[in-house]
Structure 1
Amino acid sequence: MMRNLNLKNAAIMGCLFFISIAAAAQEPTHPQEIYIDPNSVTNVTKQQVFDEVNYIPLQTIAQSRFNTIDQLVVTDKYFIINEQKTNHVLLFDKTGKFHCKIEVPSFSTAFSVNRQKREIMVKKGRTEIYYNFDGKKLREQPEKSIGTPYYFANGRIGYADYRVSEQYLPDTVNHEYRLYSKGRQYAGYLPYNMKLASIQNSDDIYTWHGPFFDIGSSKAVLYCRPFEYNIYELTSQRAYVKYKLVLPQEYVFPQDVLTVDSLKGHRYTYFNANQKQIREVSFAYETGNNIFFRLNSSIAGTNGSISYIYNLKTNALAAIKDIYPDATNYNLPITDIYNGGNFYNRNFLTSDGTYVYTSIKAELMFATAAKAQNQYPNNLKQYFAKGSSNGNPVIVQIKAKDQFTIPKAELSSNK
């Protein structure tokens, strides 16, 4: 999701009280440096990198119809889906059977899930509205804190929030990541000045995802920041840089880009003029020995912001767009990177610590299946026999190999 808030409204809300406790991100050890060379990737097939690519059609009936998965949370029993266009949160079980639908306020852009209490929370202004996993409204209450919450397994809550405005916000220190227990803040990390910080809200680039990237445990999440090549791990006790990506110099922007006054508030103009340079890392997930991430640049199209998988054991690197279907996934698409905007904009939607998830529209599934005769598993046989290209999207569940190796790429004119 976009980090920007309505700054005028934030100012009107009055002076906020923050407990200034922890300062910089605490690192229990030095971050692991990962050397990434985008020039080294080459074309590979699904079976070289992925153990499983599973397709889970979502039941299409009158009350379950929707078009796009804007947000996905995976629990032990359900896929919880947000479609902003229709202002609905939908729940399907893990086989894809429709469970229930919740109508949420039209100005809600995302939801948060408390797995322990089995609750879904959406915000209406500064009011939190809670529903259970059967779609029943439970309660409304004033928000505990400004920002996006993550509910940890131990009952504590982490909030992410970054707001900077020389015009509307006070000259005071806030923390980008704050921890609460029983309604009281007990720690804050990643401090910044809400008025004077070098990175203004207008410098940030829109990201189709909330601030937290799930790794499946409810004990920790991954986190990325604009204009950094770091991947943070956030828990209910600390925040620290877990991985530091090291790129070839040709892809690295000079650090004075973040301090030059003439660029303050519109650094996007610099990156539009220097499109090859990587702005930041985003969409970070970790499953087993593998890290998924995207390197964001200003190059348009599939050669721009590219997503990768990196194996921590073998140091192998693959670009997701260069992993092609094969017979082991019935030659069906792995993502829609070349056939739609879903993966390009939203990337992997989430992870449960074992799998990463994306989605593919029914139209693409049926168009691909029509070109080849394959022996499908029972759920796909039924899907192609009884479904239609106008049906709900299909969830794609991907499990990477615990260790994989990839031949070195040969330099070519299209790399």
Structure 2
Amino acid sequence: MNGGTVSEIFLENEYIPLENTKESEVNRVDKVLETKDNYLILDTKKPGKIFIFDKQGKFVRKIKEIPGKKTTADGFRNLWLDEAKNEIISEVFSTIDGLNLIYFDLNGNFLRSKKQPHGGRDLYYINQNIFAGVSSYYQSGDLNKKDRPNFHLSFYKDGKMIKQYFPIDTAILNLDLDDIIYRPSGIDVTDPAFLFVNTASYKVFNVNEKGINAIYNIVLPLKNTLPADFMTNKAHQGKRYQMASANKDLVYGFQNLYKLKNWLFFSANHVNDDDLIMYNLQTSSAIELRHVQGDASNAYLPVFLFEGLVGVSHQNIYTTLSAAELFQSKTDMSAKNPAYSKLLSDFFAKSSRLSNPVLVRLKLKGDF
């Protein structure tokens, strides 16, 4: 699958080193959200923390505790932004009262907490206090019937379930290793809706509490496509993971779905590997983002290596690189005499391979 160069695909690129102090040490960047003045960064390495950096990467604040509430070692485990209310929302598990949604102002000051309505980890904030919860399959007999979810996708408002979609097929059981590939997935979108894709499906649904707004049919090459009866044929029960493992080209699911303009971004799941895809919904053309090559516009630096997308704003997509990867690229590309931005020049002069990750902001040209 083709890649291209940075300047062919992106109108702007910016490498933003995150200031490295004892208080601002980031282990990994799991999610990035953008406000008018700052970047919000979720680091879920236990205990999970939320960092606030300004647009130049200067450290502003770390949120690691909640007044009056003792949490488990997980710490903060998700991050959303309510743009209408200018509030940060996160999720924690309290040792006293279970899963809670925690609200902060944009400066990181605690506002309030509420019970999390869905349970589990797969919760996503939409807008106007509406959340979407994604449920997977369960091992046969492991749960009482009343405890099993009946739908893959549920919408909640003010803590109450208001709409459900995609009934769970109870005939599909988790046998042997099959649960590894049972991954219905979704993620926040910039529209007031949600992207959802079911296990072993190449149809992505744009859906909210009012209904299904659009269906995006992703066309993959035949060598990457599962058999049509992969999930429906009972003879495949307990053998689906084995089937996907036997052919490493097969794509058994999508994760980390983002939509920006006419482009859909997602990780295409193979057993033991993922492709990072940028897919045009109008032309069905696709780019493997890890094949995108640096050029003079980004000082010949790498763009996507091991990390995928960690965020999408109304204008930009975000990924991250480690300090070590950038220093290695600087050495490898020295013969090209690259011109670095002031932020990067200062970074190379004052930092080390062990410094904080570097945030990469990329602005799309549009359709091409």
Normalised by the size of structure 2, how large is the TM-score? 0.83
CA contact (8 A) 1:313 1:403 kept: no
Deviation at 1:266, TM superposition (A): 5.3
Amino acid at match of 1:46: V
Against the structure 1 CA distance between its residues 42 and 131, is the aligned structure 2 distance closer, same or farther, given a 3 Å change threshold? closer
The one of 195, 213, 227 aligned to 1:222: 195
**Counterpart check, 1:323 vs 2:292:** yes
Amino acid at match of 1:216: T
Structure 1 residues 103-122: aligned runs within 5 Å: 103=64, 105-108=72-75, 110-115=77-82, 116-117=84-85, 118-122=87-91
Runs of 4+ in 1 over 6 A off after TM superposition: none
Against the structure 1 CA distance between its residues 367 and 82, is the aligned structure 2 distance closer, same or farther, given a 3 Å change threshold? same
Against the structure 1 CA distance between its residues 206 and 136, is the aligned structure 2 distance closer, same or farther, given a 3 Å change threshold? farther
- The residue aligned with 1:58 is 18
Structure 1 residues 89-128: aligned runs within 5 Å: 89-103=50-64, 105-108=72-75, 110-115=77-82, 116-117=84-85, 118-124=87-93, 126-128=98-100
**Counterpart check, 1:70 vs 2:30:** yes
State the SS of the aligned residue for 1:268: helix
The one of 358, 367, 371 aligned to 2:319: 358
Against the structure 1 CA distance between its residues 369 and 64, is the aligned structure 2 distance closer, same or farther, given a 3 Å change threshold? same
**Counterpart check, 1:388 vs 2:352:** yes
Deviation at 1:141, TM superposition (A): 3.9
State the SS of the aligned residue for 1:366: helix
* Greater RCO, CA 8 A, separation 6+: 1
Structure 1 residues 24-35: aligned runs within 5 Å: none
Against the structure 1 CA distance between its residues 242 and 366, is the aligned structure 2 distance closer, same or farther, given a 3 Å change threshold? same
Amino acid at match of 1:394: V
Amino acid at match of 2:274: S
Amino acid at match of 2:41: I
* Partner deviation per Cα, 1:289-334 (whole Å, 9 max, x = no partner): 3222332222x5xxx5322223345554322122111101110111
Structure 1 CA distance for aligned equivalents of residues 358 and 20 of structure 2: 10
**Counterpart check, 1:146 vs 2:119:** yes
CA contact (8 A) 1:356 1:398 kept: yes
Deviation at 1:69, TM superposition (A): 1.3
CA contact (8 A) 1:213 1:350 kept: no
Structure 2 CA distance for aligned equivalents of residues 290 and 378 of structure 1: 31
Against the structure 1 CA distance between its residues 141 and 289, is the aligned structure 2 distance closer, same or farther, given a 3 Å change threshold? closer
Structure 1 CA distance for aligned equivalents of residues 56 and 124 of structure 2: 26
State the SS of the aligned residue for 1:44: coil
- The residue aligned with 1:335 is 304
Structure 2 CA distance for aligned equivalents of residues 121 and 68 of structure 1: 17
Greater shift after overlay, 48-57 or 257-266? Answer: 257-266
Q: Tell me the C-alpha RMSD between the 2 structures.
A: 2.8
- The residue aligned with 2:69 is none
Query: 5+ residue gaps in structure 1?
Result: 1-40, 337-341, 405-415
Query: 5+ residue gaps in structure 2?
Result: 66-71
- The residue aligned with 1:181 is 157
Q: For this pair of structures, how many residues does the alignment match?
A: 348
Q: Structure 1 vs Structure 2: percent identity of aligned residues?
A: 25
